[in-house]
Amino acid sequence: MAAVHKIINLVCLYLVLVTSCTSTHVAPSSGKTKVEARVWSKIDGVVHYSDWKPYYCTTLADLKGYHLVSKPTQTLYGSDPDKKFKATGFFHTTKEADRWWIVDPEGNATWNVAINGLRPGTSARNEKALSEKFGTTQSWITRTHKDIEELGFNGTACWSEVSLVRYSNQHCATPLCYTLILSLYSGYQKQAKRDNLKETSFPVFDPAFESYVDKQAQKLAETRDDPSLLGYFSDNELNFNPGILEEYLSLKDQENPNYKVAKKWIGQEGITIENLTNHHREMFLGVVAEHYYKVVNEAIKRYDPNHMYLGSRLHGKPKHNKYVVAAAGKYCDIISINYYGQWEPSSKHFNEWKLWANKPVIITEFYAKGDDSGLPNISGAGWRVKTQEERGLFYENFCLKLLQMKNCVGWNWFRYMDNDPTDTLADESNNDSNKGIVNNYYDYYQPLTHHMKELNENRYALIRYFDH
């Protein structure tokens, strides 16, 4: 009998060990902290916000068995010193088991945790505040470089003042990685309009488009040897609209290359313009997207084979079109997504992007704005909450969920400085909202940045917690 009990005990011990070895920590699916928020929408060109509704946030305090890391050890590029891959001298991606990583120039695993629009404000009061607080733009970037690294960010993202970032990288012990947005199609669109060539909303099969992209890509020789450059975005929020197929087919010139591509495609599919369905339109967007990404990829790699192509910052419906996403996955090193309308990341969306593209994803825009800032908070698609503390809770919850998505490799908060309603040159989407981590006088929103710092500093330990 004693022998039987001994065997039973050994079996139980084995089962406990197996269970403990195979278990994965998961953040609570519904957080405990309630926040009231309003969601943005646009109907017939007019901005609307919902009524205040309750949403819930998971915080670090909700993670059972997780112990906060204070002052974590990180590498030159803000990477994880405990995870190494092959070093190439430049940023690249790799996949280990089922998790994607960015690999920094020294071979350390990293996430791109960056700030969009790291640049001085341009309004009169912005300029006055910068002069009084910092003296010069060089002093501003040197100080701000240290500030955002102290908050756990390791990079700058789109619409940052790259010349100042590169200056700062030469004068600081630890560089900030940065990105460049090339605006290839939007630049071609302006040229085509001037030359009276533009006949459709997206004529990427024009031979002139490929020539334009090649000419612009030649400029990349200036940055091809910079290890701090993460990579290139080709454009922002392109208009992959479902009407492109009909636009091409309606062209009067049947020798137009866009017409010829569309006509050949519907012939191959055995359909006519009279019996087109929405599914056909979505499929054809994949044809258009594949040509766009192929032309751009080949031009970038022709003149700069060292750096990554980060995609075109998909947004809205195109990011849910499997044909567009698959085309991006074929030619981009990372899929970039501007992610609005979601209180927190959807595992359904990330699973779709994984299936369609099999490439890692960076969330390149997201934010919440606080009504305690005193700004109207009408422009821009971010969530509205009541306080800076709640902006911080939104960030903590959103990023905790991103860390669990194994095909995610980073996030870019939109953005460094609040919109300035006194700036008459600001575009319509950036004229009156609390999007920044600083206000228009370069003062940090402390409740927000407290949450950012704590979450950012724990990102690598959190990945290990969720994975193991």
**For residue 26, what pLDDT is reported?**
61
Long-range contacts of 223-226 (CB under 8 A, 24+ apart): 223/180, 223/304, 223/307, 224/303, 224/304, 224/305, 224/306, 224/307, 225/306, 226/166
At 27 the pLDDT is: 63
What's the pLDDT at 138? 98
Quote the pLDDT of residue 71: 82
Dump pLDDT digits (tens) for 137-148. Answer: 999 999 999 999
pLDDT in tens, 306-317: 999 999 999 999
DSSP 8-state assignment for residue 465? H
d(CA 324, CA 332): 12
pLDDT at res. 45 = 86
Locate the domains of the chain by residue range.
Answer: 2-467
* Better-scored residue on pLDDT, 42 or 100: 100
pLDDT at residue 21 greater than cutoff 80: no
The mean pLDDT of 248-263, rounded to a whole number, is 96
pLDDT of residue 28: 66
| Residue linked to tokens 């010349």 | 163
What is the β-pairing status of strands 33-38 and 53-57? antiparallel
pLDDT tens for each residue of 418-438: 999 999 888 889 999 999 999
**Region 171-194: what's the mean pLDDT?**
95
Where helices occur in 23-161 by DSSP H, the ranges are 124-133, 137-150
Q: Above 50 in pLDDT, residue 215?
A: yes
- Given this structure, which CATH class describes domain 2-467? alpha beta
- So what's the pLDDT on residue 11? 39
Reading the block at residue 164, the tokens are 């100042």
Give, rounded to a whole angstrom, the gap between the first and last alpha carbons of the chain.
38
Mean pLDDT of 32-52: 94
Helix ranges restricted to H, 237-370: 244-249, 257-269, 278-303, 322-331, 347-357
pLDDT mean across residues, the chain: 93
Residue found by looking up tokens 């998961």 in the block? 26
Q: What is the pLDDT of residues 57-95, one digit of tens each?
A: 999 999 999 999 988 888 999 999 999 999 999 999 999
What is the full DSSP assignment across 176-229?
PBEEEE--HHHHHHHHHHHTT---SS--TT-HHHHHHHHHHHGGGGGTTT-TTE
Residue 160 has pLDDT above 70, yes or no: yes
Confidence check: pLDDT of 194 > 90: no
User: Percent of the chain, pLDDT > 70?
Assistant: 93
Alpha-carbon torsion angle 261, 265, 267, 271, nearest 10 = -130
| Tokens read off for 47 | 């901005």
